[in-house]
Amino acid sequence: MRIDIVTIFPEFFDVLNLSLLGKARQSGLIELGVHNLRDHTYDRHHSVDDTPYGGGAGMVMKAEPWGAALDAILGAEIPRVDAATDGPILIFPSPAGDQFTQAMARELSLEQHLVFGCGRYEGIDQRVVDHYEARGRVRLVSLGDYVLNGGEVAVMAMIEAIGRLIPGVVGNPDSLVEESHEDGLLEYPSYTKPSSWRGLDVPQVLLSGNHGAISTWRHQQQIERTERVRPDLMSPDLLPPANAKQSPSRRR
């Protein structure tokens, strides 16, 4: 997969040299380009923002540097013959976007080319999104219902979630299967040696060697945990009848 990022803080993405994603870059599974938006400014101060039309607080990112930076990356790739289903996806992290989920991460992990545009300040001039939407696939994606100072942290999170789903990035693919959100449930609790620590014992069933019992216990734990922590994720057929109409309990 090819990933391009446009940002005014390119150093922010130096951490993508580390760990599994760093290895994936070294082995060529992920090809990364980080581009400084200021390299596409032509005024003396390399300004990327200006005051908003209509007034109001804060600054808005100017369309011209964004257009120049994105054209340089997308080049001949946009417009495409079938822009709705083909070519790179341009992703703008934004609290006003679609909620990023594991399902979206999986869907995006199948793409050939992702281009992330990290906005700052009060956002990017709307015409940038409008312009590229008319030429290809553009998505506004939100990490959650809170406001970050810019898109960089959101893009890091998305790249990590997407990158680890690319075949070969995570050494043991089995470890991707039994994770939170993969089957719509939160994951079960895990334990390792020693079997007793500060008076707390590992659940007996995990020491039993009975794989059927272990698997049943883990599934029950997933259901119990999801019901307790994220009842919104529970499908009605997994809820015990007595709990079906209860308000969410917030025990630990």
Residues at the site binding ligand ADE, with contacts judged by CB under 6 A: 93-95, 142-144, 146-148, 151, 154
Q: Is 138 exposed, middle or buried (0-12, 13-18, 19+ CB in 10 A)?
A: buried
Cβ 141 to ligand ADE, closest distance in Å? 6
Quick one: 42 or 146, whose CB is closer to ligand ADE? 146
Q: Which of 140, 141, 80, 150 is nearest to 112 (CA)?
A: 80
Cβ 90 to ligand ADE, closest distance in Å? 14
Q: Which neighbouring-strand residues pair with 150?
A: 120
Quick one: 24 or 48, whose CB is closer to ligand ADE? 48
Quick one: 22 or 52, whose CB is closer to ligand ADE? 52
Residue in this structure with the two tokens 């690319």, named with its chain if needed? 166
Distances (CA, A) of 2 to 31, 143, 206: 5, 21, 42
Cβ 124 to ligand ADE, closest distance in Å? 11
User: Do residues 181 and 101 touch, judged by C-beta distance below 8 A?
Assistant: yes
Cβ 163 to ligand ADE, closest distance in Å? 17
Quick one: 94 or 222, whose CB is closer to ligand ADE? 94
- Using Cβ positions, the residue closest to ligand ADE within the complex turns out to be 93
Cβ 121 to ligand ADE, closest distance in Å? 10
Quick one: 53 or 146, whose CB is closer to ligand ADE? 146
Question: How does DSSP assign 15-31, residue by residue?
Answer: GGGSHHHHHHHHTTSSE
**Pairing relation of β-strands 60-61 and 49-50?**
antiparallel
Cβ 203 to ligand ADE, closest distance in Å? 37
Quick one: 125 or 227, whose CB is closer to ligand ADE? 125
Cβ neighbours of 202 (radius 10 Å):
16
Quick one: 33 or 144, whose CB is closer to ligand ADE? 144
**Could you give the residue ranges of the DSSP H alpha helices within 138-193?**
152-163, 174-177
Cβ 172 to ligand ADE, closest distance in Å? 30
The alpha carbon dihedral of 67, 70, 153, 43 has a sign of negative
Q: Which of 64, 61, 21 is nearest to 42 (CA)?
A: 64
Question: How does DSSP assign 73-124, residue by residue?
Answer: HHGGGSS-TTTTTSS-EEEEEEEEEEEP-HHHHHHHHT-SEEEEE--BTT-B
